Structure 1
Amino acid sequence: MFDLKKKEVINICDCKKLGFVGDVEFNPENGCITHLIVPGPGCLCGIFGREKEYIIPFKDVCQIGDDIILVEVKKLKDIEKPCKCD
């Protein structure tokens, strides 16, 4: 099994670096990965907080290489999830 957390995620639609995989979601019934979770840039209201994270459906993954994961996301707003900075 390969380690996804060491791979950088890049959107092929705009060549934007989204970050590194922080976690994955999977379907417990069949064990298949459903989403990649990529923490976004740091939050201004806390040193360790995050302003947002990207929840990328695994169907949008185009290719997994040795160092990077290429995804095709046409609208980043569709995969952004706000984080709470408390």
Structure 2
Amino acid sequence: MRLSKLGGKEIVNLNDGGRLGMVADSDLVIDEKTGKIEYLIVPDNSLQLNILRNRTEIEIPWEAIRKIGNDMIIIEFDED
């Protein structure tokens, strides 16, 4: 799959149905030695939780991805 196709997909958490944002608004962390994707860094758009937890982004391990579909990426991720 091309990166341009991946960018248009929405990230949805299987655990709670939460919509975390679009891949296009995220960053990929790639291991320089192996070339493998390690994390997706997604902006934390939940203002209430952002104030309480004092964070601005969520790091999602690449292993948390369960399915890449036509319109979205399903992850299984516990944000706590």
Moved over 3 A (4+): none
State the TM-score, normalized to the length of structure 1. 0.70
Instruction: Render the CA deviation track for 1:14-66: whole Å, top value 9, x for unaligned.
Output: 111011121100111111100011112176xxxxxxx5211100011001112
Identity of aligned residues (%): 35
Partner residue in 1 for 2:42? 38
Aligned-residue CA RMSD (Å): 1.7
State the TM-score, normalized to the length of structure 2. 0.74
Which residue identity does 1:30 align to in structure 2? T
Which residue identity does 1:36 align to in structure 2? L
Q: How does 1:38-77 map to 2 (within 5 A)?
A: 38-41=42-45, 52-73=56-77, 75-77=78-80
Partner residue in 1 for 2:50? none
Given that residues 9 and 69 in structure 1 are in contact (C-alpha distance below 8 angstroms), is that contact kept between their aligned partners in structure 2? yes
Number of residue pairs matched by the alignment: 69
Secondary structure of the corresponding residue to residue 59 of structure 1: helix
Given that residues 63 and 71 in structure 1 are in contact (C-alpha distance below 8 angstroms), is that contact kept between their aligned partners in structure 2? yes
CA gap 1:42/1:18 in 2 versus in 1, 3 angstroms: closer
Partner residue in 2 for 1:9? 11
